[in-house]
Amino acid sequence: MSNHSGDEEELSQDEEENLPQNEVDFNEQQQNAFVTDDTYVHSSTHQQFDDIEPIEARPPNEIDTDEQTTHQSGIPAFRTLDELFKEGAITGTQMALLKSRYIDLQNALAQSREAENRLRHEEHGYIAQIEKQKRVLEEGESFPDKITNEIQQRRKDLLKYTNDLACTEERLFDMDYKIKALEEDKRSLENEKARIPNQHEIDEKMKSLRQECDDLRRQIAQKKSEIKDQNVLLGDKRKKFGNTTKQHEELMNTIQILEAEHLQVTRRPGELLKIIDGLNLQRDQTDQEAEELEAKIKEQDGNLLQLLDDINKMKTLTSKEIKSVDLQNQQNERLNDEIRNVLNLIAFEDAKLIKGQIDERQSTEAVKSTVQMTKQIREQHAKVQKQKERLLRELKRVENQYNIANDELGSMHMTIDKLNLQRTALPVDDPAPKQAAENLKEEIHDIREDAEKYEKELLVKQSTLTTAQKDQQEVQLRQDNCRRDAISMAHFASVVSNEREQKCREKMKAKHRLESVIEDLQRKNGEIYEHKKRIDDLEIQKKESAGMYEIVKGERNKCVNAIQVNTQKSNEMKEKTKLLENEIEILRTKLIVLEKDVQKKKLLVAGSIVERDREKHKVEKQRIYLSELTAQGKQQTSENVNYSNLIALVEKELGQLRKDYDTSVLDRNERSVQLVERYNEEVVFQEKVNVQDTKLKNAYVELRSRDDEIRILELQIQEEKRDIALSKKKLPIKRSLNEELKLYRICLEACQERLVELEKMLENPNDPARVRFLDGVDESPASIMKKLEQLEQRLSIKEEQSLEKDLILEQVHRLIERLSTKADAGKDDTLALAKKVNDLQSKIKDITRKMMATLSELTIHQSDALKLQQEKNVKDVELQQFYARMEQGEPPSEELEQEWQRTNEIEYRRKMERRIREDQERETEHHLLPGGVMTHAQPRPQAYAPSDDAEIQISKPYGSRAPFKPSEPGANMRHIRKPNPKPIEI
């Protein structure tokens, strides 16, 4: 009640403040109602629409009865009606009707205000009742304070317990997750522990391995001592062999060079294959190899004795000595290679024994790497050989070209010298023929000058003719161009006239449209003016109705105040009695409701007690479970400490093993350094041998070049002899040639005379046949003048037409230029827009493509990740199975066992292939020629045998083409009859 009454008081104060302002505005509007002009109305329509305020219903103001009579006579609506009646705009009946309607509206307004006041009074009564009921409810709610406090406490406890329960559930979930993670760690540690052998087993294995290493070292030391003794014996034998071979070094150098080249090519792959075989051999084969070495050394001793015998025999037969020495050198080199391989194997096995255990994987990888190295070396060697052969071919080709050029130059010099000699040998003639020859030369010179002048004149005439023809062609071309221009201008004029007509039509259409638009505009302006007038009338009516509303409102307020004073007292008494009865009934109902609520709350309290006991029981169980978990965690920590101690011990042992490994690596490096030094010494010796080989090759090349020079000189001598014979044969032909020359000179003189005669005939003006008259009758000069005037008139007409066309053309060009500028401007805009659109479309397409590509890549990567995860799981399971089988003493899998067998078979096959290859190489060495060519045929001659008459008995080579050798007659020759040779007629 209090709030509502306060609001009403504020509203009444606002109304009282706003009343005088509204009255002032209303008076101002009345004064300015009829002052407006037509121009002002037309210009301020938009402002009026914006300045119109919405109509609001305001509460009525209190007006006295004395003021009402005076105000009614001064109503603006009645005043305006009277003025209109006086002016004659409205009839009397219309004025009476309007006044009656205005009075009816005032009465209706008064009734509505009365109904409004009545409803407000009812509203005040209802609001008072509601406030009383609210107070009663507040008192009833504040009555049982103790019960509500207990319930709130129970609710707080329940919320607290639920929060604790949620926290415990989260902790339990975390503990479960940690327990699972610890269990997985425990399993992995157990698996690793199961894989790690016991310390006792490791010690036993180490002892056994050390004993084996000691035994092997002793064996290796024994073998090294034996090898040293054998090397000493070999050195003595080599010294003896060197002393014996010094006498035959000059004969053997050429053969050894070729053998060294062949061995350098074939040695590397053989050495690499032997290293691969040595890596694959096991420990048990070392004893066998040592025995084989002893047997080979014995064989070498026997071979050395045989070589001594062969050297004694070589003095008699050089060919046999060369072959025996070749075999001996090959055997010695093979023995040296085998000794080196054995040393490498021993060093490799020493490193193996120091390391303790070597994986089979490392050995296989080493084998593969060596195989790849051999392949690379072979490929490089092949490339080098190809380059060498190509360079040799080019060198030979250049040498041949140089030799041929020198031969030709020499032959030319020889021919020149011969001709000079022949010229000097010819007899000297008399001076008379010389003078005659000079006179003839002068005459020939004069004739040539005349002929050149005649040719120049002919050229000048031809040039004038060509220029005239060109001018004629240009004139024809201009005529054609003018015709085309005239045709195009006519066509263009027709096009321009058509365009002009179209533009006139478009102009007429535009005028019609403009007229229609202007008419529409005028019509709409009239409509706007009418609407403005209507708005002004409505505003005037609004002001009049507002004045009437205020008058009626004042009268209503007076009546309402009188009624309110009388009815308020009676209503207050009735309301008091009703309120008291209502309060009694409300209190009774509240008591019943509160009793029911108390019973329900008691039941809820009993249920909450039961739930509390259950939760306490659960909490105790969780505490017990947590204590068990803590105990398990302590046990696991103790186990982890034990595992960490074991790991530390294992790491210490690993450190010791690493130290042992480092010492073994240092030993191996020292041995490798020694091997590298030996290899460097060997390389130095090989370089010396190569230098000697190059010197021998150069000497051989020089010898061959000198032989070629001798052959070329012989050929030159033969050519010179042939030239001398030919020149001797040509001497009797000179006389016949001189006679022919005289005849040709006579013919030339006759031709020149005939040419002069023809020129004179052409230059003679008296000759009647020189001029040709045209056919037809000659016209009179008057007719010719008339025709000229007609042609001039036509020409002037044509010129006028052409000028008109030029003017039209200029106008058309201007129009075209304007249109073209507009079109170009539009084109630029459209081009820019099109480019932007194209760029945006291309960007959108690129982005979509990239999105699609990234999506496809993402799906592919996801699928690959899933596949790899599955493969990893499968491989883990297989690995565990392999470990289990290896612990039982079985192979990891049948497939691996089959692969191991396959590798053994491949190694055996390689050994067999290597042996077959070595046998083939031995066979090919017997069939090799000095040039490196393989032949199984008998040697055939490559040069002509020298004749008995020759001064120098040297065989002449065939050269690029060998002589024809007829093939043997076949089996079909027995069916062919021999021809009878015809007698030769001389």
| 201-219 residue pLDDT tens | 777 877 787 788 788 788 8
Higher pLDDT, 250 or 102: 102
Q: What is the pLDDT of residue 499?
A: 77
Higher pLDDT, 581 or 482: 581
Q: What is the pLDDT of residue 43?
A: 42
| Mean pLDDT value across residues 921-931 | 70
| 368-411 residue pLDDT tens | 665 566 566 667 666 766 766 776 676 677 667 666 766 766 66
Q: Which of 60-69, 748-757, 844-853, 939-948 has the lowest mean pLDDT?
A: 60-69
Q: What is the pLDDT of residue 428?
A: 45
Mean residue pLDDT across the chain: 71
pLDDT confidence band for 49 (50 / 70 / 90): very low
Give the closest residue to 111 by CA, choosing from 561, 565, 548, 556.
556
Question: Which region, left, alpha or beta, applies to residue 932 given φ > 0 means left and ψ of -120 to 50 means alpha?
Answer: left
Q: Which of 95-104, 743-752, 904-913, 954-963 has the lowest mean pLDDT?
A: 954-963
Q: What is the pLDDT of residue 290?
A: 55
Q: Give 881's contacts (C-beta < 8 A, 6+ positions apart).
A: 892, 893
Q: Which residues of 86-115 are buried (b: 16+ CB within 10 A; e: fewer)?
A: eeeebeeeebeebeeebeeebeebbeebee
Q: What is the pLDDT of residue 236?
A: 79
Calpha distance 563→545 (Å, rounded): 27
Q: What is the pLDDT of residue 159?
A: 78
Q: Which of 20-24, 157-161, 311-315, 440-444 has the lowest mean pLDDT?
A: 20-24
Q: What is the pLDDT of residue 985?
A: 61
Q: Which of 553-562, 650-659, 822-831, 958-967 has the lowest mean pLDDT?
A: 958-967
Asked if the model's pLDDT at residue 310 lies above 60, the reply is no
Calpha distance 673→752 (Å, rounded): 103
Q: Pairing between strand 943-944 and 956-957?
A: antiparallel
700's tokens:
């051989």
Q: What is the pLDDT of residue 232?
A: 81
Strands (E), 692-798: none
| Mean pLDDT value across residues 714-740 | 77
| Mean pLDDT value across residues 669-678 | 76
Q: What is the pLDDT of residue 45?
A: 39
| 223-247 residue pLDDT tens | 778 887 877 877 777 777 777 667 6
Note the pTM of the prediction, 2 decimals.
0.18
Q: Which of 55-59, 573-577, 938-942 has the lowest mean pLDDT?
A: 55-59
247's tokens:
């006498």
Are the beta carbons of 667 and 352 closer than 8 angstroms? Answer: no
| Mean pLDDT value across residues 973-979 | 67
| 804-846 residue pLDDT tens | 888 888 888 888 888 888 877 777 777 788 888 888 888 888 8
Helix (H, G, I), strand (E, B) or coil at 326: helix
308's tokens:
């001594």
Asked if the model's pLDDT at residue 315 lies above 70, the reply is no
Q: What is the pLDDT of residue 321?
A: 47
Q: Which of 94-103, 251-260, 313-322, 560-569 has the lowest mean pLDDT?
A: 313-322
Q: What is the pLDDT of residue 56?
A: 40
Q: What is the pLDDT of residue 38?
A: 39
pLDDT confidence band for 472 (50 / 70 / 90): low
Q: What is the pLDDT of residue 16?
A: 44
Higher pLDDT, 324 or 928: 928
Asked if the model's pLDDT at residue 732 lies above 70, the reply is no
| Mean pLDDT value across residues 156-169 | 81
Give me the DSSP letters along 217-237: HHHHHHHHHHHHHHHHHHHHH
Q: What is the pLDDT of residue 31?
A: 42
Q: What is the 3-state secondary structure (H, E, C) of 129-188?
A: HHHHHHHHHHHHHCCCHHHHHHHHHHHHHHHHHHHHHHHHHHHHHHHHHHHHHHHHHHHH
Calpha distance 653→47 (Å, rounded): 104
Give the closest residue to 538 by CA, choosing from 946, 27, 35, 52.
52
Calpha distance 140→592 (Å, rounded): 12
DSSP 872: H
- Sign of the Cα torsion 554, 560, 561, 562 reads positive
Q: What is the pLDDT of residue 44?
A: 43
Q: What is the pLDDT of residue 413?
A: 64
| 850-909 residue pLDDT tens | 888 888 888 888 888 888 888 888 888 888 888 888 888 787 788 888 888 888 899 999
> Between the ranges 79-93, 479-493, 903-917, where is the mean pLDDT highest?
903-917
Calpha distance 141→742 (Å, rounded): 165
Asked if the model's pLDDT at residue 18 lies above 60, the reply is no
Q: What is the 3-state secondary structure (H, E, C) of 512-544?
A: HHHHHHHHHHHHHHHHHHHHHHHHHHHHHHHHH
